Amino acid sequence: MGVYGVPAYSTLGWMNWAGGDPLVSTFIYYPEGELARLVFHELAHQVVYAPDDTAFNESFATAVERQGGALWLAQHSSPAARESYAAFDARRRAFRALTLATRRELEAIYKEKMANPSVGVSYIAMKKEVIQRFHDGYSALRMQWGGDPAQYRAFDAWVARANNASFAAQAAYDELVPGFEALFEREGGATPEGWRRFYDAVKQLAAQPKEDRRRVLTLMKDQAHVAYPHSP
C-alpha cells in the first residue's frame, strides 16, 4: 500500500459537527473551474460510498466532477475561465492517458513474470524501459503544452515519485468512469430529475456485491460505445 499526498479529501460527513470538511491551502487558490471540479468530487463521496471499493468510489466522484463541473462552468463562469479550464482539462486527460498506457504495460510485464518466474533480471530491465518511456512521453507532453513551466509543478512532482502504487492509485480515479457516465446519460443527464435518478441508481449499485457492480458498469460502458462509437 502506497502513501501519497492529495490536495483535498472528504471525511464522508464525519467533520459536519465542525462545519464540514476542511478548506485547506492546497487548493483554495486553484482557478475557479478547477476549484469547482474538486468541490464536486469531494461532495460526491458524501452522496454515495461503497466500503472497500476505491475504484468504484473514486470513479463515481470523477464522473460527478466532470458532469457537475461542465454544468457549473456553462452556467456560472466567464468565457475566459471556461477557456482556461478547457486547456487545463485537456492537459490532465492527456496525462491520464499516458499513465493508463504505462500501467497497462507494467501489468503485462507482471503477468509475464508470474507465468514465467525465471524472467528474473530481464523483468527488471523491461520495467525500467517502460518507466523510461513514461518519462520520455511526459517530456514530450510538456513540450507540446508550452507556456510557463511553473503551472506543471503538480505533474512534475507526480512523475518524479511515480511508482507501482502511484499508477494503481491513478487508475482508481479513471477505471469505471465510462460506465458511470453512460449510466448518467441513461438516467436523464444534466437535469434535476436526471441527477436524482443517477444518484439513486448508483446507490443501488453500491448495495450490490463488488463484482456485480463492476460487471454492470463494464456492461454500461460497452453498450455506450456501441451506441456512441465516437465517445471517448
Q: Which of 165, 144, 174 is nearest to 41 (CA)?
A: 174
Lowest mean pLDDT among 65-69, 134-138, 165-169, 191-195: 165-169
> Does 228 score more than 80 pLDDT?
no
Predicted confidence at residue 232, as pLDDT, reads: 36
Predicted confidence at residue 3, as pLDDT, reads: 45
- How is residue 198 written as a grid cell? 443517477
Distance CA 20, CA 11 (A): 8
Asked whether 85 and 73 are in contact (CB, 8 A), the reply is yes
Residue of 52 and 26 predicted with greater confidence: 52
Residue ranges covered by each domain of the chain:
16-77+176-227, 89-172
DSSP state string for 115-126: H-GGGTHHHHHH
- How is residue 211 written as a grid cell? 463484482
Distance CA 159, CA 155 (A): 6
> Does 1 score more than 50 pLDDT?
no
Mean local confidence (pLDDT), 24-32:
58
Tell me what percent of the residues of the chain surpass a pLDDT of 90.
44
Asked whether 133 and 125 are in contact (CB, 8 A), the reply is no
Predicted confidence at residue 110, as pLDDT, reads: 84
**Assessment of whether the complete model's pTM goes beyond 0.85:** no
pLDDT tens track for 141-170: 999 998 888 888 889 989 998 888 888 888
Amino acid (one-letter) located at 25: S
> Does 186 score more than 90 pLDDT?
yes
pLDDT tens track for 96-130: 899 989 999 998 888 887 877 776 668 888 889 99
